[in-house]
Amino acid sequence: MERAAEKVYVAIGNDVQEGLATLEWTLRKWSSSQFSIVILHADINKDYVYTYYGKIPASYVNDQSVDFLKKCEQGKLNKILRQYIAFCGQVKTEILNIEKCDEPIHKRIVQLVSGLGICKLVMGITFLKSSSWKYGNLLSGLKHIQQKKPDFCELYLISGGKLFLLKDENNEGFIEDDQGAKLNKKRGSFRGWIGKMFPENVKSPRFSPSSTSVDSPSIWEKCAEEIEGYFNHLVEESESGQVSDEILESNRSTSIPRNLTPTQKTEFLRVKIGEARDAIHLKRREAKESVQRYSRAEWAINLCTSRSEDLEARLNEETMKRGALEKDLETIREELSETRIRLDQNRNKLDSTLEIQRELSRKLKSSTMVKSQSQEQLGKMINTRGGMIQDIEKLRKQKNVMQRRIEFCRDKDAIEMVTRLNNFGFSYKEFTAEEIRAGTDHFSEHCRIKCSGDFTNVYRARIDHTTVAVKLYDFRIRQVSEEEFDTKPRPMVHGNLNLGKILLDRNHVAKVNGFRLDFSFDESDIRSDIQDFGSLVLQLLTERNWCGFLDEVNMMNEATLVEVLDQRVGEWPLQVAMELARIAIRCSSSGDGAYTGMTMVMKEMEEVRKKADDVVAGVGCSVNEWILVRAERHKAMARNEPQYITVDKLRPRTQTPYS
């Protein structure tokens, strides 16, 4: 749906040039948008008619002449409006006639704006001049429109194709354009004209006017408004006379049209005779009025003459006073020159004194600034020192707290580790086939973890709230007799014992993972597990992997062992460490003194444990407790976890079954 064109109302008068200039400004202003123009034009005044003798009331002319003259005026007006419409071109243009009534034209404009909801009103200044010829009435009418119009209406005043603004300054209104040029007044007031010719002297308390002119200013002030009204009346009569002369000249130059019939010629002559009769009566009336005007003019001339004589007397008096004032002024100038010389001398002395004062002020200011900066720096240093002392005290307290926490954590972790070692043992639990099938959901695919290469599958099972791994072997091809199950069980071989195969649960209980459950093993496999156990013990003592360095292990003595021990644990009991190292070296070696089974290894490990208990008997805990306390203290320092552990809080823990 297209948007309705915006209406711009343009109020213009009968002056064709001013009207076309106003329309041109409007078209240029809204050229970039879609709009239509509504021309506001004042209708002809029905109370007056323009005859050959000027503008006269319609009651002075007969009805036929009034109709004929009004038709002529309406024809001229329609011709002007057609020119306005043709000038707008393709822009939609409408005509809205404003009927004249008893109210002034500016009040009628305000009523139209409110009644029609006019948002944009472009008004040519000549539109108001046609009804209000005086500049003061024009300003008052524009002020009335500016103040009384609704807020939604935008008013633009145009004269000569330029935009003018209505402004107030010193309680006096004036019209000026955007460049500050004021609109010229075409007619001045009689008071201003007389004021330019005879300016009044401002009363001064120093000089009193002469006694001959005491009553003259008061008389002039009383008659000033009457004189101004008389002047305006003369100007109106001069314009009416000019219009009448122009009409008479045009009538004299016109003749009776030739194409009229005798009846029409008779009617035309009858109208002319009637108009001549009316003109005679009008001239007689004007002759009577001219007598009154003459007496009034004589009164105005006498008043102006007396005023001019009074002003001339004042002028002479002021001239004499001016001469006396000039003499006094000359004397004052001489005194002023002498005073100026003395003032210059005093100023020079004062300048030198001020220069010294400024120099001293600059030095004092610099000294004060240096002092303030020093005091500020000293205050900052004192505050910094106080803050540093507070920080040092806080850090000292934090250090003490951290040390106590570290000691507590070490003791706690050591006690927990000793408790786990005291409860160290091997155990196993045997599950029935029904429990395994129920835990693996009858060996379903979603429970299977992987397929091994030796015809086995590994399943994840949940049995008695414990998660276990179940390795399922295929049925053996050869027959198994019942006697084989009744024979002595063979030892279990791991095959790849290292730190990665030892798992710790949440209670730090060790569990061995990755057993090889096939029966195809020999003596070399057992020997391999013993060597792996020896390497594991050496790695725990020294935190170093000794695989591939067996010769270096065999050459190790007590001094060498002290150098390679893990220093993070703390102080080692050398006797216990040497025994453990000896067992580990013997396990790792392949000579004649090597172990042949893990039973021998476990017996010697038990003897070392008893010897360690005797060494640390004074501490109140076993050697395993002491070793683990030192180890856990080191771990707590590495993790920076301030937890408190005390030896007296050690409690044994329930052993978790091996799964």
**pLDDT classification of 384: cutoffs 50, 70, 90:** very high
CA angle 274/278/282 to nearest 5° reads 170
Mean pLDDT calculated for residue range 327-338 = 91
Highest mean pLDDT among 247-251, 301-305, 388-392, 645-649: 388-392
Q: What is the model's pLDDT at position 218?
A: 53
pLDDT in tens, 70-122: 777 778 888 888 888 888 888 888 888 877 666 777 788 888 888 888 888 88
Number of domains the chain is built from: 3
Q: What is the model's pLDDT at position 649?
A: 32
Q: What is the model's pLDDT at position 208?
A: 37
Residue that is last in its domain, among 419, 454, 469: 419
Looking at per-residue confidence, does 378 or 494 come out higher?
378
**pLDDT classification of 430: cutoffs 50, 70, 90:** confident
Q: What is the model's pLDDT at position 344?
A: 92
- 529-552 burial, b at 16+ Cβ within 10 Å, e below that, comes to bbbbbbbbbbbebbeeebeeebee
Q: Is residue 53, in this structure, part of any structural domain at all?
A: yes
Instruction: Assess whether 389 and 472 both reside in one domain.
Output: no
pLDDT in tens, 262-276: 776 777 777 778 777
Q: Distance (Å, rounded) from C-alpha 122 to C-alpha 11?
A: 6
Which is it for the CA torsion 397, 399, 400, 404, positive or negative? Answer: positive
Q: Per residue, what are the HEC states of 51-98?
A: ECCEEEEHHHCCHHHHHHHHHHHHHHHHHHHHHHHHHHCCCCEEEEEE
What one-character DSSP code corresponds to residue 495?
S
- Comparing 130-144, 194-208, 343-357, 421-435, the range with the smallest average pLDDT is 194-208
Q: Distance (Å, rounded) from C-alpha 435 to C-alpha 439?
A: 6
Judged on CB neighbours under 10 Å (0-12, 13-18, 19+), 317 is middle
Per DSSP, the chain holds a count of helices (H) and strands (E) of 16, 14
Q: Distance (Å, rounded) from C-alpha 546 to C-alpha 584?
A: 11
Instruction: Assess whether 165 and 286 both reside in one domain.
Output: no
Task: Indicate the SS3 state at residue 163.
Answer: strand
Say what the alpha-carbon torsion angle 133, 136, 138, 140 is, to the nearest 10 degrees: -150
pTM above 0.75, yes or no: no
Q: What is the model's pLDDT at position 172?
A: 61
Q: Distance (Å, rounded) from C-alpha 538 to C-alpha 528?
A: 16
pLDDT in tens, 608-651: 888 888 876 655 454 455 555 555 554 555 454 433 333 333 33
Q: What is the model's pLDDT at position 370?
A: 92
Identify the bridge partners of residue 504 per DSSP, sorted by sequence position: 510
Query: Are 448 and 458 within 8 A, CB to CB?
Result: yes
In angstroms, how far is the first alpha carbon of the chain from the final one? 85
Q: What is the model's pLDDT at position 301?
A: 81
Residue that is last in its domain, among 419, 438, 458: 419
Instruction: Assess whether 280 and 393 both reside in one domain.
Output: yes
Q: What is the model's pLDDT at position 359?
A: 92
Identify the bridge partners of residue 38 per DSSP, sorted by sequence position: 9, 94
Query: Are 549 and 539 within 8 A, CB to CB?
Result: no
Instruction: Assess whether 464 and 376 both reside in one domain.
Output: no
pLDDT in tens, 43-75: 666 666 665 555 666 666 667 766 777 777 778
pLDDT at 536 over 50: yes
List phi, psi (to 5°) of 159. -150, 125
Rounded to the nearest angstrom, the gap between the alpha carbon of residue 577 and the centroid of all alpha carbons in its chain is: 75
Query: Are 37 and 11 within 8 A, CB to CB?
Result: no
The CA-based diameter of the chain, rounded to the nearest angstrom, is: 173
Instruction: Assess whether 465 and 370 both reside in one domain.
Output: no
CA angle 178/181/184 to nearest 5° reads 130
Instruction: Assess whether 155 and 270 both reside in one domain.
Output: no
Q: Is residue 129, in this structure, part of any structural domain at all?
A: yes
Within 10 A of 268 (CB to CB), how many other CB atoms are there?
Answer: 14
Instruction: Assess whether 16 and 73 both reside in one domain.
Output: yes
Q: What is the model's pLDDT at position 189?
A: 46
Looking up residue 94, the CATH number of its domain turns out to be 3.40.50.620
Query: Are 470 and 439 within 8 A, CB to CB?
Result: yes
Torsion-angle region of 263 (φ positive above 0: left; ψ -120 to 50: alpha; else: beta): alpha
Q: What is the model's pLDDT at position 339?
A: 92
Instruction: Assess whether 473 and 376 both reside in one domain.
Output: no
Instruction: Assess whether 97 and 156 both reside in one domain.
Output: yes
Query: Are 651 and 419 within 8 A, CB to CB?
Result: yes
Query: Are 19 and 13 within 8 A, CB to CB?
Result: yes
pLDDT at 601 over 80: yes
Within 10 A of 88 (CB to CB), how many other CB atoms are there?
Answer: 17
Instruction: Assess whether 309 and 350 both reside in one domain.
Output: yes
Q: Which tokens belong to 240?
A: 């009416």
Looking at per-residue confidence, does 394 or 178 come out higher?
394
Instruction: Assess whether 161 and 287 both reside in one domain.
Output: no
Q: Is residue 509, in this structure, part of any structural domain at all?
A: no
Q: Is residue 513, in this structure, part of any structural domain at all?
A: no
pLDDT in tens, 197-245: 444 443 333 333 333 343 445 566 666 666 666 667 676 666 555 444 4
Q: What is the model's pLDDT at position 451?
A: 59
Q: Is residue 322, in this structure, part of any structural domain at all?
A: yes
CA angle 39/41/46 to nearest 5° reads 155
Q: Which tokens belong to 579?
A: 């025994």
pLDDT in tens, 117-140: 888 888 887 777 655 444 456 777
Q: What is the model's pLDDT at position 251?
A: 46
Residues in the chain: 659
Strands (E), 125-161: 154-159
pLDDT in tens, 447-478: 888 655 555 678 888 888 778 888 876 654 44
Nearest Cα to Cα of residue 523 among 604, 595, 591, 426: 595
Q: Distance (Å, rounded) from C-alpha 8 to C-alpha 28?
A: 13
Instruction: Assess whether 30 and 108 both reside in one domain.
Output: yes
DSSP assignment of 252-266 = HH----TT--HHHHH
Judged on CB neighbours under 10 Å (0-12, 13-18, 19+), 454 is exposed
Strands 48-51, 93-98: pairing is unpaired
Looking at per-residue confidence, does 426 or 65 come out higher?
65
Identify the bridge partners of residue 94 per DSSP, sorted by sequence position: 38
Average pLDDT taken over every residue of the chain: 72
Percent helix / strand / coil, the chain, rounded to 5: 60, 10, 30
Q: Which tokens belong to 318?
A: 């002021």
Q: Is residue 641, in this structure, part of any structural domain at all?
A: no
Range of the domain at 462: 428-489
Q: Distance (Å, rounded) from C-alpha 93 to C-alpha 86?
A: 9
Judged on CB neighbours under 10 Å (0-12, 13-18, 19+), 500 is exposed
Query: Are 66 and 9 within 8 A, CB to CB?
Result: no
Query: Are 532 and 595 within 8 A, CB to CB?
Result: no
Q: Is residue 434, in this structure, part of any structural domain at all?
A: yes
Q: Is residue 345, in this structure, part of any structural domain at all?
A: yes
Residue that is last in its domain, among 453, 474, 489: 489
Say what the alpha-carbon torsion angle 239, 242, 243, 245 is, to the nearest 10 degrees: 160
Q: Distance (Å, rounded) from C-alpha 626 to C-alpha 623?
A: 5
pLDDT in tens, 553-592: 666 666 677 777 777 766 777 788 888 888 888 887 766 6
Within 10 A of 430 (CB to CB), how many other CB atoms are there?
Answer: 5
